Chain A
Amino acid sequence: MSNQNNLTNHHKKRLRIVSVCIALLPFAAMLAALFLGRYPITFQEAIQRIWQVLTTGHYDVQDVVAGIIFQIRLPRAILGFFVGGALAVSGAVLQGIFRNPLVDAGMLGVSNGASFGAVLGFIFFNGRYEVVILLAFSFGLLAVWMSYHIASAYRSTPTIMLVLGGVIVSSVFSALVSFGKYIADPYDELPGIVFWLMGSLANTGYRELMIALLPIVVSFLVIYLMRWRMNVLSLGDLEAFSLGVNIRQTKGILIACSALMTAAAVAVSGTIGWIGLVMPHMIRMLIGSDYRSLLPLSFALGGGFLVIVDIFARSISSAEMPIGIITALVGAPFYVFLLRKTKGKNW
Chain B
Amino acid sequence: MTLSIKNLCFQYGKQTILNDVSTTLKQGELVCLLGPNGSGKTTMLNCISGFEDDFDGYIEIEGIPVSKMRDTERARRIAYMPQKDEVNFPFAAREVVLMGRTPYLGRFDVPGDKDHALVLAVLEALDIQHLADQMYHTLSGGEKQLVRIARGLVQGAVFQLLDEPTASLDLKNEMMVLEHISDMMLSSSHGIVMSTHDPNHAFYFAQRGVKTRAVLLEAGAVVSEGAPEAVLTVDNIRRVYRLGTQILSFTADGAVKPQSHIVPIRTERGI
Least CB distance from A22 to B in Å reads 18
Contact status of A99 and B108, CB under 8 A, knowing A241-B50, A243-B100: no
Contact status of A243 and B91, CB under 8 A, knowing A225-B108, A229-B107: no
User: Beyond A96-B89, A242-B79, A290-B91: 16 further Cβ-contacts under 8 Å?
Assistant: A228-B109, A232-B102, A234-B87, A234-B88, A235-B86, A236-B82, A236-B87, A239-B82, A242-B51, A243-B75, A243-B103, A244-B74, A289-B89, A290-B95, A345-B90, A346-B90
Contact status of A235 and B99, CB under 8 A, knowing A228-B111, A244-B71, A289-B89: yes
A228 neighbours in B (Cβ, 8 Å): 102, 105, 109-111
11 contacts between A and B (CB under 8 A): A227-B110, A228-B102, A231-B99, A236-B82, A238-B86, A239-B80, A242-B75, A243-B100, A243-B102, A244-B102, A290-B95
Least CB distance from A313 to B in Å reads 34
Contact between chains at B95 and A242 (CB < 8 Å) = no
Chain B contacts with A in 112-140, Cβ cutoff 8 A: 133
B110 neighbours in A (Cβ, 8 Å): 227-228, 292
Q: Which of B51, B85, B90 contacts A288, CB < 8 Å? A: B90
Least CB distance from B172 to A in Å reads 23
B133 neighbours in A (Cβ, 8 Å): 8
Residues 203-229 of chain A, each 1 if its beta carbon lies under 8 Å from chain B, else 0: 000000000000000000000011111
Chain A contacts with B in 314-329, Cβ cutoff 8 A: none
Contact between chains at A289 and B109 (CB < 8 Å) = no
Contact between chains at B99 and A232 (CB < 8 Å) = yes
Least CB distance from A226 to B in Å reads 7
Asked if A245 is at the interface of the complex by the 8 Å CB criterion, the answer is yes
Least CB distance from B220 to A in Å reads 20
Contact between chains at B49 and A245 (CB < 8 Å) = no
Residues 66-108 of chain A, each 1 if its beta carbon lies under 8 Å from chain B, else 0: 0000000000000000000000000000001001000000000
Contact status of A244 and B75, CB under 8 A, knowing A228-B102, A231-B99, A289-B90: yes
Asked if B76 is at the interface of the complex by the 8 Å CB criterion, the answer is yes
Cα separation A235 to B90 with both chains bound (whole Å): 11
Residues 283-307 of chain A, each 1 if its beta carbon lies under 8 Å from chain B, else 0: 0100011101000000000000000
Asked if A42 is at the interface of the complex by the 8 Å CB criterion, the answer is no
Cα separation A246 to B81 with both chains bound (whole Å): 17
Residues 39-50 of chain B, each 1 if its beta carbon lies under 8 Å from chain A, else 0: 000000010011
Contact between chains at A226 and B103 (CB < 8 Å) = no
Residue ID in chain A nearest B79 by CB atoms = A242
Contact between chains at A239 and B102 (CB < 8 Å) = no
Asked if B195 is at the interface of the complex by the 8 Å CB criterion, the answer is no
Contact between chains at B86 and A226 (CB < 8 Å) = no
Cα separation A138 to B108 with both chains bound (whole Å): 29
Cα separation A185 to B75 with both chains bound (whole Å): 61
Chain A contacts with B in 230-273, Cβ cutoff 8 A: 231-232, 234-236, 238-239, 241-246
A241 neighbours in B (Cβ, 8 Å): 49-51, 71, 80
A289 neighbours in B (Cβ, 8 Å): 89-91
Least CB distance from A55 to B in Å reads 39
A226 neighbours in B (Cβ, 8 Å): 107-108
Q: Which of B89, B102, B103, B108 contacts A234, CB < 8 Å? A: B89
Asked if B78 is at the interface of the complex by the 8 Å CB criterion, the answer is yes
Contact between chains at A244 and B76 (CB < 8 Å) = yes
Give the 3 A-B CB pairs with smallest separation, nearest first. A236-B86, A244-B75, A242-B80
Least CB distance from B102 to A in Å reads 4
B251 neighbours in A (Cβ, 8 Å): none
Asked if B249 is at the interface of the complex by the 8 Å CB criterion, the answer is no
Asked if B72 is at the interface of the complex by the 8 Å CB criterion, the answer is yes
Interface centre among B73, B79, B86, B109 (most CB of A within 10 A): B86
Least CB distance from A239 to B in Å reads 6
Chain B contacts with A in 45-97, Cβ cutoff 8 A: 46, 49-51, 71-76, 78-82, 84-91, 95-96
Least CB distance from B160 to A in Å reads 10
Q: Which of A225, A235, A242, A346 contacts B49, CB < 8 Å? A: A242
Least CB distance from A134 to B in Å reads 32
Least CB distance from A18 to B in Å reads 15
Cα separation A133 to B109 with both chains bound (whole Å): 36
Least CB distance from A321 to B in Å reads 36
Contact between chains at B51 and A231 (CB < 8 Å) = no
Contact between chains at B103 and A244 (CB < 8 Å) = yes
A235 neighbours in B (Cβ, 8 Å): 86-87, 96, 99
Cα separation A231 to B98 with both chains bound (whole Å): 10
Contact between chains at B91 and A245 (CB < 8 Å) = no
A96 neighbours in B (Cβ, 8 Å): 89
Residue ID in chain B nearest A253 by CB atoms = B107
B75 neighbours in A (Cβ, 8 Å): 242-244
Contact between chains at B89 and A238 (CB < 8 Å) = no
A234 neighbours in B (Cβ, 8 Å): 87-89, 91
Cα separation A238 to B87 with both chains bound (whole Å): 11
Least CB distance from B69 to A in Å reads 10
Contact status of A243 and B90, CB under 8 A, knowing A238-B82, A292-B110: no
B96 neighbours in A (Cβ, 8 Å): 235
Residues 121-142 of chain A, each 1 if its beta carbon lies under 8 Å from chain B, else 0: 0000000000000000000000
B74 neighbours in A (Cβ, 8 Å): 244
Contact between chains at A231 and B91 (CB < 8 Å) = yes
Residue ID in chain A nearest B163 by CB atoms = A238
Contact between chains at B91 and A246 (CB < 8 Å) = no
Asked if B260 is at the interface of the complex by the 8 Å CB criterion, the answer is no
A244 neighbours in B (Cβ, 8 Å): 71-76, 102-103
